[in-house]
Structure 1
Amino acid sequence: MTEIQALPASAPAVVAHGAGDLRIEDVKLRQAAADQAVVEIVYGGICGSDLHYWLDGAAGESILQAPMILGHEVVGVVAASAADGTGPAAGTPVAVHPATPAPGTARYPVDRPNLSPGCTYLGSAARFPHTDGAFSRYANLPSRMLRPLPAGLGLRRAALVEPASVAWHAVVRAGEVVGKTVLVVGSGPIGTLAVAVLKRAGATRIVAVDMYDIPLEIARAVGADETLLASDAEAIAAVEADIVIESSGSQQGLASAIKGAVRGGRVVLVGLLPSGPQPVAISLAITRELELVGSFRFNDEIDEVIKALADGSLFIDPVVTHEFPLTAGLEAFEVARNSAISGKVLLKFTP
């Protein structure tokens, strides 16, 4: 499909209407702006933020005030290229960088656009009107968001490009990992992708932690040398990791991360804890001189991830555990919410 006139008037999409109210419904297709391409979405990965909008009507402090199309982990094929001539041509398979950096009013390092206070993200209720996501059969996306996929990198594998970029950014924030012992607390999709990135980056010993067996099996499949149950506090503390990646997004996980770090170690916080005060054993961080480092989304790491997937140096296939057609989207979300039985759950938008 190369002509925008051939597109249908509406397309099925995953729309969050409020807490507990998720619908698969037809949404009218709007005319694309001059700098937007129309992308036929093929795969979309269900993220934790998508689950929160469905279950809670909010993701952190981003509260739904109107129905919103979910989804920012998407790949597809350009159905109609941007009218202004920018971006890839029709027929090009693409991954999507879902951020639109914008300066806002607060100061930030200009070389770190992920921290720009005015930044918007696909499928985010951080601002109103909300920024619709791309869990739709067709999506109008700015051409600057699109990353053409190299020959040989299939769309299903590329469906993990966005979350793998989050994990890659976290490992970059960790600093040099060659020869280091690294503890990954929380072996959901981001945690297991971090394990895979750490393995590629040359970490000597990778220890993964989770509450459930299946996530730990995935962690081993992508490169973890050891796995521990989250309940084994003594074993976690004995790891004495040079670097800890905290990807659980829970106060219990943060406590394990601090206790499992070696004195003078670095703890990278990539799991997003709930907003508001959190009980933290900060005295240990002080007396052990730990470095607590935040990690938020990503910047140009997406291009490195695509290269690493294309050349085979980054192995992440076991992270995907389920795939559902869009018609079974509600069932897909139910499976994705159960971290005891699932890793990354994909929606297939095309027949």
Structure 2
Amino acid sequence: MFTHASQLSFLLATGLLALGADRTSPTAISAQANAPIAAIQKLKSAKISFGAMGTDVTIQGYHADAAHLDKALAAARAEIDRIEDLMTSWRDSPLVRMNDGANGEPQHVPQELSDLVERSMTVARLSGGAFDPTYASVGKLWDFKADPPVLPADEAIASALTSVGWQKVQVDTKASTVAMPAGTRIGLGGIAKGYGVDRAMQVLIDHGIEHGIVNAGGDLKALGTDDGKPWEVAIKHPRDRERAIAVVPVSNVCLVTSGDYERFFELDGVRYHHIFDPRTGRPVVGGCMSATVTAPDAAIADAVATACCVLGPELGLRFIESLPRIDAILVDIEGQVHVSSGLETAVRK
């Protein structure tokens, strides 16, 4: 199901091979963990919080110069706003115009957009279609804000499903074009938030920040340490948000959580959530309640977490174990926790 050839092309495309192919825990990736604690604790700290990309975003950092730190945080926020403007599907954007203009012919799009669409298609190939950005072709039928909630008609779902399939999309990153049939739509909700986190962290690094964290509603990237101590992230149980099922130390690594609790409605005792099975056009059944993924890249972690929710714990862990530098904590529909090999010693349950 998960082929070596497509995996290799994915690794080359995302730069993961440069980090090495051995499977080690995220704590082993830290380049800053040995910095003198006393020196770090003398740094100024600052944090900003705001709403973007449909969630709450927090950016925190440390630097010797408080004014410079404030500028760095503001620049990181501006970068997230820029990514949202480029890839949102809720208002006019290059992504919306690309979807509306689909007619089977190549459309020129911003280079950044074509690159992320290509990365999305690579994860789709890797996961056997469990992650499929063209789910948006049928996902548009589901309104999670409707009150009272309404289910789409079976006929409408069946019709829209004919437009779903990552194989329908052709991307030429050199020409910066995307081609897909009329009716096929791409949604980047399963990867764009992570990409925004990646870009915001890069802005902090470009400003000389060596210790910080960017957290966008559970998609986060940590750099260095937190006041001389490892950053730690509590993984909440998807059905009991007051209970942590694990605490993961992270440094210079990304951690992303996807789950069926983020957007959902209940009708006649059935929970309908926003993670779709591309094969059925309906919320996935029998997958995972939540998937927490660690990786060097938040965009890829975001997409892989979505794929794991669709695949379920057994196939999800098999998928994870096929990828270097990527690990996961999966919670199945019974609430049982499944941990990949690279996190067995890093996780405190």
TM range (shorter): under 0.3
* TM-score, normalization by structure 1: 0.27
TM superposition score normalised by structure 2: 0.27
More helix by share: 2
